[in-house]
């Protein structure tokens, strides 16, 4: 066997819109519009610069039933670049590709080899002593174990299996083409190039290597951190190295700030400045989309809730300053708890005390919650659609959501009493 190298990538999702980014003045809208395309260009650039012998794409090249052929034409233009460099590409359809009109109708350049969706097949690269086995998705939902019907390993060849799968199941992903590590090991292959799971994960280190490379560009806050492909070097038929290569052009991060020992809003902003600066440095010049989560028991709790808009805009301003326009505050989540001791106020014979007592009782008594849900049913129907959608949506049909809103109401009452000095008379 000769020595060679290849790139293993998956879950490209070309032209998939990045979701969850709220627009505001100064936010880097243009820099994220073509993020998946720019990341894919980085993939092709890397293959050419490293003189990679071939590229593997383990499914989900596209992002569903897009009818805009410009997405497909962009892919073809990048494949032509690889064709000029004599780099072939071997790909399978994933669950998103299966329903794509582009996948079904667009003719690909001669250097792109797509595996059958009807049964597993093998492409042999005689110059390198490589046999690549794979099967694509014929439909979006494939629930059978495809590995069982993959060909046996080819003797005296380096065997690679390409598979779009959830393996034994992963949170947040549909359970497609399920299989176990033992199923894959039984085939006797040297490397399993997996796709579908968007987080990089090495399932088996040696004999065979079984790897999810993750997607090449994070698309929302559930896809945080470094995203890219895996560069594999094989020497004399044995895997010599596996290298993760970052390709993403915008990075998603979560910034968790513990407000437990913070008593002033300015101090909280100083902590945020420090942590945002650290994240920006780690991104090495990439734009960032950051979700800020505030947690911990703090005297600021009620103030943060009452002055939420002011807080968010201060954090956005801070992000603009630190990142020179390259940090986008995706969302601010306030998960702090209060330190104010108001038990005495709750026991006083005042109208406010009665309200606080009712909120406390309702939070603990499911029958009261059910009565409130019934009372609020008409309000729920009257709410405009925009208030019923998203993570902060109003849902007066759900007891848990109502309980959360009651706690927020209590916090606001306590905050305003603390800053005004009123005792609920």
Q: What SS3 string covers the chain?
A: CCCEEEEEECCCCCCCCCCCCCCCCCCCHHHHHCHHHHHHHHHHHHHHHCCCCEEEECCCCCCCCCCCHHHHHHHHHHHHHHHHCCCCEEECCCHHHHCCHHHHHCCCCCCEEECCCCCCEEEEECCCCEEEEECCCCCCCCCCCHHHHCCCCCCCCEEEEEEECCCCCCCCCCCCCCCCHHHHHCCCCCEEEEECCCCCEEEECCCCEEEECCCCCCCCCCCCCCCEEEEEEEECCEEEEEEEEECCCCEEEEEEEECCCCCCHHHHHHHHHHHHHHHHHHCCCCCEEEEEEEEEEECCHHHHHHCHHHHHHHHHHHHHHHHCCCEEEEEEEEEEEECCCCHHHHHCCCHHHHHHHHHHHHHHCHHHHHHHHHHHHHHHHHCCHHHCCCCCCCCCCCHHHHHHHHHHHHHHHHHHHHHHCCCCC
Distance CA 346, CA 217 (A): 51
Distance CA 361, CA 354 (A): 10
Per-position pLDDT tens, the chain of length 425: 689 999 999 999 888 877 666 566 665 566 677 889 999 999 999 999 999 999 999 988 887 665 567 888 899 999 999 999 999 999 998 876 655 555 556 788 999 999 998 999 999 999 999 999 999 988 777 888 999 999 999 999 999 999 999 888 666 556 788 899 999 999 999 999 999 999 999 999 999 999 999 999 998 889 999 999 999 999 999 999 999 999 999 999 999 999 988 989 999 999 999 999 999 999 998 999 999 999 988 889 888 988 999 999 999 999 999 998 889 898 999 988 775 544 545 555 556 566 656 656 666 666 666 766 666 666 666 656 655 555 555 566 666 666 666 666 555 565 555 555 444 44
pTM above the 0.95 mark? no
Distance CA 408, CA 402 (A): 10
Predicted pLDDT at 258? 93
Predicted pLDDT at 413? 60
Predicted pLDDT at 201? 95
Task: Write out the two tokens for 275.
Answer: 């942590």
Predicted pLDDT at 29? 63
Predicted pLDDT at 423? 46
Predicted pLDDT at 229? 98
Task: Write out the two tokens for 293.
Answer: 């989560």
Report whether the peptide linkage leading into residue 208 is cis, meaning its omega lies within 30 degrees of zero: yes
Nearest to 245 by CA among 223, 226, 228: 228
Predicted pLDDT at 124? 97
Task: Write out the two tokens for 391.
Answer: 């993570």
């Amino acid at each position: 066997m000769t020595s060679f190298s290849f790139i293993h990538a998956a879950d490209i999702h070309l032209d998939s819109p990045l979701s969850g980014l709220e627009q505001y003045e100064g936010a880097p809208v243009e820099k994220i519009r073509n993020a998946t395309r720019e990341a894919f260009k980085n993939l092709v650039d890397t293959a050419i610069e490293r003189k990679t012998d071939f590229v593997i794409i383990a499914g989900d090249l596209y992002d569903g039933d897009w009818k805009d052929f410009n997405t497909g034409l962009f892919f073809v233009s990048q494949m032509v670049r690889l064709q000029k460099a004599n780099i072939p590409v071997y790909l399978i359809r994933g669950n998103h590709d299966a329903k794509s009109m582009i996948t079904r109708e667009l003719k690909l350049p001669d250097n792109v080899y797509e595996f059958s969706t009807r049964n597993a097949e093998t492409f042999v690269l005689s110059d390198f002593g490589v046999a690549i086995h794979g099967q694509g998705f014929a439909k979006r939902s494939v629930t059978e174990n495809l590995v069982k019907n993959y060909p046996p390993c080819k003797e005296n060849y380096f065997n690679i299996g390409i598979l779009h799968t959830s393996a034994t199941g992963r949170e947040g992903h549909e359970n497609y083409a399920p299989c176990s590590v033992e199923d894959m090991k039984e085939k006797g292959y040297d490397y399993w190039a997996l796709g579908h799971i968007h987080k990089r994960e090495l399932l088996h280190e040696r004999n065979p290597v079984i790897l999810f490379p993750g997607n090449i560009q994070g698309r929302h806050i559930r896809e945080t951190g470094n995203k890219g492909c895996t560069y594999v070097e094989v020497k004399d038929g044995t895997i010599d190295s596996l290298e993760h290569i970052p390709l993403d052009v915008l990075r998603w991060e979560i910034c968790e700030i513990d407000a437990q020992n913070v008593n002033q809003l300015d101090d909280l902003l100083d902590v945020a400045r420090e942590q945002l600066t650290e994240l920006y440095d780690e991104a090495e010049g990439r734009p960032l989309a950051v979700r800020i989560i505030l947690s911990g028991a703090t005297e600021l709790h009620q103030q943060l809730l009452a002055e939420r808009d002011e807080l968010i805009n201060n954090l956005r301003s801070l992000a603009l300053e630190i990142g020179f326009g390259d940090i986008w505050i995706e969302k601010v989540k306030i998960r702090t708890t209060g330190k104010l001791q108001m038990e005495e106020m709750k026991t006083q014979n005042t109208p406010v005390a009665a309200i606080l007592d009712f909120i406390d009782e309702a939070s603990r008594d499911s029958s009261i919650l059910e009565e409130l849900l019934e009372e609020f049913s008409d309000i729920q129907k009257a709410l405009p659609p925009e208030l019923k959608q998203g993570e902060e949506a109003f849902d007066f049909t759900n007891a848990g959501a109502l309980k959360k809103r009651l706690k927020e109401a209590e916090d606001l009452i306590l905050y305003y009493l603390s800053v005004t000095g009123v005792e609920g008379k």
